[in-house]
Every structure is written in C-alpha cells, then in structure tokens.
C-alpha cells in the first residue's frame, strides 16, 4: 500500500467498508486525505501520458442536460444518437455508477506534425483520427482506475462513450473553457485534445475551479466554418456540420457536397483557424505513423472486410462501409481528374452499382466532373432519378 494512503487512512477505510459490503464513506479526516489522494491520482495520470488531469464531483450536468434537450427539440442534433439518445442518462454520472462520488477527467493531446501530402487523389482525415489517440487516452485513464481499484474503490473508465458528456465534465474539472467553436480549449494548449473520465466512488479533491472564457472578442471559428454550422457561440447545428454529415447514413445533403471538398472523416476547420489551438498545441510524436490522407481510389475498390479492418477506429454507421464509399464518391467529384482512365472506370462501375445510394452519388460525382456522357437517361430508383433530375454544375 502506498505510503501516502497509509498516512491518510483513505485506503484502509475503503477496504474495511468494501469487506463489509457497505458503501465507502469519506474518512473522518477526509478533506485532507481526499485532496492528497486526488493529487496522487492526477500524478499517476500525468505519468501515464495524459497531458491534463482534473477532478470534479459526480454531480448532474444540468447545463449539458438543458442543452441536449433544447437542441434536440430544435432538431439541431439531426438524428444524432450518442449523448442525445438519453440526456437524463448521459448527464448523470450515477447512471453509470450508482455510488459515484468523483470524476477524474483526463485530456490527451492529438496534435501531430502534418505528414506531406501524397501525390495520388487523396482524402483528408481529421487530426483526432490520424493515430488512435483514444487508445492512448484510455491507457492513461486505466492506470488511474487500476490504482483506485487496488485501493478498494470502484472505478469505471469512459472515453467518447455515450454515457457521459465528456466536454462538460472536463469543463467542471477545470481543464479548460468552451470555445465559440464548442470545443473545450485547454488553458495554454488549445483544443487538439481527446477527453475521457474515470468515474469512482472515492471521495476526491482537489475540486477544480472553472476556467474563464479565453476567446474574448475572437470569432474566427464562426466566420471560417465552411458551412456556417456554428449558429451561435458554442452551438453547432449538426444539420450543417461536415463532421456529422460524413457519419450520418443516407443521402448526403446536396447543399454541402461541394463544401465537403476532400474531407473523408471529420473536419478541423474551426480548430485550424483558432489562435490558441494552432499557436500553443502540445505537439507529440507518438511513434506511430499518422494517417492524415487516404487514397480515394482505395476506398472505392477495397472489399468490405478490408475497409472495416483498415478503419476499425472510425465511427461508421452500422459498420457498413458503403458510407465510406458514398463519401469517397463525393470527394472524387470534387477533386478527381476528369481525364484519368481509372476515374472513368470506377465511376462507370458505381453508376451501375446495385445500391441506389451509391449510384446516386456516382451520378453526382460524374456530373460534377463534367462526365455527363457516362450518365444514364433514367433510373428505376427514385433517389437516383432525383439526382439525374438535379445535376450539379461542373467543378
């Protein structure tokens, strides 16, 4: 047992109560011991590669609950499930652990040097997916959870899980402020961070103080979002947000296909223009080769299993790779080479694909590239026919 635990008695108390199947209560000298114990856990997280760690109480996240409910009623969630599925659950840590007392929140930087742009027709991947940073985040959080469990407490790790609104707990744990782009900006380091928590029944300190707004009069993210999806400071309308539209199943809204450009997964524009983020990011070399670009043709030619294995860390609706292919067809329409034979072959193949969603997006891509000679005059499926009836202008 670590010396600091012995000194403050917190571990012994936990073990005693656990043996009696009684919920662990704060020790008598709890204020000091909880703070010391919390500081030790923070140090464990930092030693395990987390860049920031803070602690908050396991209280209901009232502001997030109101925001989720209001935005859902206004339709701003655009069918997203995630934390919106059950706002009462995702804003109450005791839904995850009935005896929850504290939350330790960790942040892991995903700022990485941009690898050179490849020569083939390439699609862009958002930075948070260049390497599996969530794995690194979870490893750090697990170390904290292991220590807690060793000491007789309960501990559950959550990272990008629908059970809790990560940014709000990170805000409560004093890790940073909400930028106008809705991201949580870490003081002195910006927003290129993934966030996660350890929910525990250990009573912990130090409870953080909230970080004040650091955006000031800046509004670069609002003005530079390619689809004007940030409709008010801190409020993203998912109906317009490219990051969501790339994940959403179904027909990709034609109004935003040109704005999509070469993005295949996620969108970083509202962060790439953010001064505190680009100037102060903690750039780390994880040792793993970052995947910042993906060959568009490979998405359109690889089989299902290969695609799912290659992109196993990505959120793909129903794990159906056709959504990746749909996105790749739009990108091909935006940046493909009109005179390239392989592009012609692939488009011709997708124009007769048995799946009407893929045929419809192939129609759009061929028309946008100016290859209208490949298009059929009609299609038996209404969604493909609708595309034929409203062909886009050539790029």
52 belongs to the binding site for ligand B12 (CB under 6 A): no
Bridge partners for 295 per DSSP: 122
268 belongs to the binding site for ligand B12 (CB under 6 A): yes
Residue with tokens 């994940």: 247
180 belongs to the binding site for ligand SF4 (CB under 6 A): yes
Choose the one of ligand SF4, ligand B12, none that binds residue 269, judging by a C-beta under 5 to 8 angstroms depending on kind.
ligand SF4
**Alpha carbon of 25 to those of 55, 128, 173, 204: distances in Å?**
18, 39, 22, 11
Instruction: Give the residue, chosen from 44, 107, 204, 242, that forms a contact with ligand SF4 under the rule CB under 6 A.
Output: 242
Instruction: Give the residue, chosen from 11, 48, 173, 194, that forms a contact with ligand B12 under the rule CB under 6 A.
Output: 194
Among candidate residues 132, 151, 160, 353, the one labeled active-site is 160
CA distance 102 to 55: 7
Q: Is 320 marked active-site? A: no
293 belongs to the binding site for ligand B12 (CB under 6 A): no
CB 181 within 8 Å of CB 217: no
Instruction: Give the residue, chosen from 68, 144, 346, 362, that forms a contact with ligand B12 under the rule CB under 6 A.
Output: 68
Contacts of 103 (CB under 8 A, 6+ apart): 55, 56, 57, 58, 93, 164, 169, 172, 173, 197, 198, 199, 200
180 belongs to the binding site for ligand B12 (CB under 6 A): yes
Give, as ranges, the residues between 297 and 356 that touch ligand B12 (CB under 6 A).
none
Pairing of the two strands 184-186 and 176-178: antiparallel
CA distance 231 to 221: 11
215 belongs to the binding site for ligand SF4 (CB under 6 A): yes
365 belongs to the binding site for ligand B12 (CB under 6 A): no
256 belongs to the binding site for ligand B12 (CB under 6 A): no
Nearer to ligand B12, 27 or 83 (CB): 83
- Nearest approach, Cβ of residue 240 and ligand SF4 (Å): 7
Give, as ranges, the residues between 283 and 342 that touch ligand SF4 (CB under 6 A).
none
- Judged by phi (left if over 0) then psi (alpha if -120 to 50, else beta), residue 280 lies in alpha
241 belongs to the binding site for ligand SF4 (CB under 6 A): yes
- Nearest approach, Cβ of residue 271 and ligand B12 (Å): 6
Bridge partners for 351 per DSSP: none
Instruction: Give the residue, chosen from 35, 39, 63, 262, that forms a contact with ligand B12 under the rule CB under 6 A.
Output: 63
62 belongs to the binding site for ligand SF4 (CB under 6 A): no
CA distance 40 to 69: 37
- Nearest approach, Cβ of residue 390 and ligand B12 (Å): 26
SS3 assignment, position 261: coil
Q: Where are the alpha helices (DSSP H) in 30-165?
A: 30-47, 62-73, 87-90, 93-96, 133-150
Instruction: Give the residue, chosen from 152, 196, 205, 276, that forms a contact with ligand B12 under the rule CB under 6 A.
Output: 196
Contacts of 256 (CB under 8 A, 6+ apart): 227, 240, 242, 245
The values of phi and psi at residue 298, to 5°, are -65, -35
For 319, what's the count of Cα atoms within 13 Å in the CB-facing half-sphere? 8
Residues near ligand B12 (CB under 6 A) are 63-64, 67-68, 71, 80, 82-83, 126, 128, 159-162, 165-168, 178, 180-184, 191, 193-196, 233-236, 238, 241, 243-244, 247, 266-268, 270
Residues designated catalytic: 160
Residues near ligand SF4 (CB under 6 A) are 179-181, 215, 218-221, 225-227, 229-230, 236, 241-243, 267, 269-270, 273-276
């Amino acid at each position: 047992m670590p010396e600091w635990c012995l000194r403050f008695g917190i571990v012994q108390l936990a073990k005693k109560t656990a043996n009696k199947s009684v919920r662990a209560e704060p020790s008598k000298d709890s204020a000091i011991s909880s703070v010391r114990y919390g500081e030790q856990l923070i140090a464990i997280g930092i030693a395990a590669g987390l860049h920031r760690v803070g602690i908050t109480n396991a209280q209901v996240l009232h502001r997030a609950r109101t925001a989720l409910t209001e935005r859902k009623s206004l339709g701003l969630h655009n069918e997203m499930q995630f934390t919106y599925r059950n706002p009462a659950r995702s804003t109450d840590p005791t839904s995850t652990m009935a005896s929850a007392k504290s939350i330790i929140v960790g942040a892991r930087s995903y700022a990485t040097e941009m690898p050179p742009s490849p020569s083939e027709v390439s699609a862009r991947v958002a930075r948070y997916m260049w390497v599996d940073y969530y794995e690194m985040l979870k490893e750090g959080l697990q170390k904290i959870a292991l220590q807690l469990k060793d000491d007789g407490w309960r501990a559950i790790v959550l990272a990008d899980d629908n059970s809790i609104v990560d940014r709000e707990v990170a805000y409560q744990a004093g890790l940073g402020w909400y930028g106008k782009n809705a991201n949580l900006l870490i003081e002195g380091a910006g927003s290129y961070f993934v966030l996660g928590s350890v929910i525990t029944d250990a009573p912990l300190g130090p409870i953080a103080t909230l970080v004040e707004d650091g955006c000031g009069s800046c509004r670069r993210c609002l003005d530079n979002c390619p689809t004007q999806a940030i409709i008010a400071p801190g409020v993203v309308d998912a109906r317009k947000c490219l990051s969501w539209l790339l994940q959403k199943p179904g027909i990709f809204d034609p109004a935003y296909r040109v704005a999509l450009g070469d993005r295949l997964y996620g969108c970083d524009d509202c962060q790439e223009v953010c001064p505190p983020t680009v100037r102060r990011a903690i750039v780390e070399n994880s040792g793993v080769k970052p995947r910042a670009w993906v060959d568009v043709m490979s998405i359109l030619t690889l089989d299902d299993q290969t695609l799912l294995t290659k992109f196993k860390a990505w959120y793909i609706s129903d794990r159906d790779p056709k959504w990746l292919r749909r996105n790749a067809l739009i990108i091909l329409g935006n940046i493909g080479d009109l005179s390239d034979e392989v592009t012609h072959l692939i488009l011709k193949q997708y124009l007769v694909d048995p799946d009407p969603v893929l045929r419809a997006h192939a129609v759009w891509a061929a028309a946008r590239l100016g290859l209208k000679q490949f298009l059929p005059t009609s299609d038996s499926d209404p969604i493909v026919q609708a595309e034929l009836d409203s062909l886009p202008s050539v790029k």
